[in-house]
Structure 1
């Protein structure tokens, strides 16, 4: 953060806080899921899978309307609404005494959280001069929130706090972030010309939205969108149910320590460790996007994820050490793939459609990807083999799409080369 201009630093602080808090709340939910399955045993994993999916789905489905609202009302105002809305949703969760109230709280959280990514990225893109540096800090802050959310949740539950009280405690940083944001001062358009701001402030009309969407999906972006969706299906499915899967592993018996709440175990810290390793994975993925063609990188990482899913069931029976190693590798590649698909969106979309394309990207990643929570709940009810078979399918389809895109683009480039030379000779 040292060396950044004052306006860049102020926006970086605000967006880093917002990004970390979005994922702070997001990744605490799978830990609560373990508790809810214990608290409401008659409901079953399939029912709670549907309920959690109802919460996560708006997180992505709201990305497109959130982008339109950001253009109309400004990114800072939208981020403040996001922070206050997420904190309020967890207050509702703190008073929940039924499955219906839990579902309501999760839906409220999903709607509020959906605002952040379009608004936060828009703020950085228009207000920051040192964009690459601030985007890097922004990503790191998100990963810190991803790791801290389940860590703090599991720790508070293990020391004996009721899950409703834990939800209330988790809401506090959201209100602190809201208070900080209200006092923060910066120029949200400090890195663009006044004319550009005027043009950007005009929200898309319906006809422009439809024509822009049609143009995007008539290009290679249609394949990129499908790739992102299958990555989201794998990502959301594994992260939602991994705590429950680790709890039931035979090797976890050696970590059978006294806990304050039935259902929360030291195995949850293996899950947290996976998320921490993800920070290194995302950093490495970002560096590799400059050295490896994004389509090839996507295909390769999807292949690794498929192999890891194949290995998970037998490795789960081998003992504590192999489980930890497998989870660490999974965490690394699960997050290493994200810079590749983000770069793929930039490579395969025109600059004037970049905002709309990233709106669709988060729709696929977080919105359509959330369907794997419901599908995974039913599959897990059948058995672990069915669940990981589902994940293997997601990874293999993502790999096939990535490889197909690589072949198509390579052939197009090969065809364009002689054609361009012929035109230059004419």
Structure 2
């Protein structure tokens, strides 16, 4: 990587880590909210789905703004907004304020992915490697957020913990203000003149025109693929700490880690730490998935990962019931595959969209991944209320089944078009 590539990758890595630090700390907090506010999984799932949904829906207007104004300033707004929303969350005395704070977080966080991914695709010459490192950083935050939250909850009230989580956003803002880079270097290196076209849609009619130009048959299939990924991702991860707690033995009691009557023993939840480990394994998935985008057809890679996720979803509960070792293994495989798919679909979107509409293309992408995908949390919460955990996982497996079919269809359509 050249100096510009390194500056951009460093900037998006720390920003991506902070976004997912917040995103995946929420399921850890949900375990506490379920008890403290006496709400059902269906109600809390619906509340969280709204916040997560805005995380995705807001990506579309954010994508329009990226194409018009660039990425750097928008990412700074994103970081400040997320920190502020968690500060508000720390004041919550009931489910209503939690809902408001999560909605504000979702709006702020929605800015990141169109901004960060557009910046990578237009500014970094080694795009596949950039996506890989970007994904690894996201998973670092994905694991770090729940880990920091779980550890802090051993010692402090959850409201103080959420206020302390403002610190990562402040650190990221300080780092961002200390570096500089060229956002369009990769396009210029390819002989393009991005700067002449960086206007973005300035009116509703222009937005419709640009969207129509973007929505080829292949791009639509690619969006449906990322939608399936988002639904399965959110459906499996949102209540996973609570699900895992039902399968894990009382490890702290068996190993006598704490005094049984101490406050730490009361707050210690081994499921939270297995959940963190699962998310950290996703770092390897991100790296492998990113590297494979430069080596194999992305569509076939997507089909392989989706079909593997089907098998994991069907086998998850039987493996969990088989004992601790099997539960750890199946959780690790789930974490690897859930995140290996992400750099592949990100690169696929770049492949099927023009560089001058890259922000808009990633805006639509994350409407599908995190906006429509947020319904996965509500679906999972409802299924856990009306059926078994096994039934929940089997029904959720429908999403990667559809993803597999769509990926094969995209590969065949692209092969036919180039033959």
TM-score by structure 2 length? Answer: 0.90
Partner of 1:370: 374
Per the alignment, residue 383 of structure 2 pairs with: 379
Other-structure match for 1:45: 41
Q: Is the 8 A contact 2:58 2:107 kept in 1?
A: yes
Residue 109 (structure 1) aligned with residue 105 (structure 2):
yes
- Which digits, 9 at most, give the CA deviation of each residue in 1:168-195, with x for residues without a partner? 1111121232233344444545666696
Partner residue, 1:22: 19
- Residue 73 of structure 2 aligns with which residue? 77
The answer for the alignment partner of 1:238 in structure 2 is 236
Equivalent residue number for residue 403 of structure 2: 398
Q: Distance in 2 between matches of 1:407 and 1:281?
A: 25
Q: CA deviation at 1:133?
A: 4.7
2:133 and 2:287 in contact (8 A); partners too: no
Using the size of structure 1 for normalisation, the TM-score is: 0.88
Equivalent-residue separation in structure 2 for 1:45 and 1:73 (angstroms): 41
**Aligned twin of 2:172:** 177
Q: How does 1:166-315 map to 2 (within 5 A)?
A: 166-189=161-184, 196-249=194-247, 251-256=248-253, 258=258, 260=264, 262=266, 264-315=268-319
- Closer/same/farther in 2, CA of residues 119 and 294 from structure 1, 3 Å limit: closer
Of 357, 361, 364 in structure 1, the residue corresponding to residue 365 of structure 2 is: 361
Show the counterpart of 2:147: 151
**Inter-partner Cα distance in structure 2 for 1:202 and 1:400:** 34
Aligned residues of 1:34 and 1:264 also touching (Cα < 8 A):
no
Distance 2:180 2:353 in 1: 33
Structure whose CA Rg is larger = 1
Structure 2: gaps spanning 5 or more residues: none
Check whether the contact 2:18–2:141 (CA below 8 A) recurs between aligned residues.
yes
Deviations 1:336-387 (A, max 9, x none): 1122222322333344443322221111111110011111111011221331
- 100-109 vs 134-143, which deviates more? 134-143
Determine the C-alpha separation between the residues in 2 that align with 1:263 and 1:238. Answer: 24
Maintained 8 Å contact 2:75/2:111 = yes
Determine whether 1:90 maps to 2:86. Answer: yes
Q: What displacement does 1:261 show?
A: 7.5
- The alignment of Structure 1 onto Structure 2 pairs a total of residues equal to 408
* 1:202-257, Cα deviation, whole Å (9 max, x unpaired): 545422321332343341111111111011100111111111100111x4223445
Q: In the alignment, is the contact (CA less than 8 A) between 1:87 and 1:174 conserved in 2?
A: yes
Q: Distance in 2 between matches of 1:369 and 1:192?
A: 31
- Aligned partner of residue 269 in structure 2, secondary structure: coil
Q: Summarize deviations over 1:281-336 as a string: whole Å, max 9, x none.
A: 12112232334322222222111111111111222211111100110111111111
Higher relative contact order, chain-length normalized (CA < 8 Å, sep 6+): 2
Map residues 131-150 of structure 1 onto 2, 5 A cutoff: 131-150=127-146
Provide the rounded CA distance (Å) in 2 between the counterparts of 1:186 and 1:117: 18
Q: What is the aligned-residue RMSD (CA, Å)?
A: 2.4
2:128–2:291 contact (8 Å) kept in structure 1: no
Distance 1:396 1:125 in 2: 29
Q: Verify: 1:13 aligned to 2:10, yes or no.
A: yes
SS for the counterpart of 1:399 is: helix
Q: Tell me, which stretches of 5 or more residues in structure 1 are unaligned?
A: 418-426
Aligned partner of residue 96 in structure 1, secondary structure: coil
Question: Quick check: 92-101 or 195-204, which moved more?
Answer: 195-204
Q: Is the 8 A contact 1:72 1:201 kept in 2?
A: yes
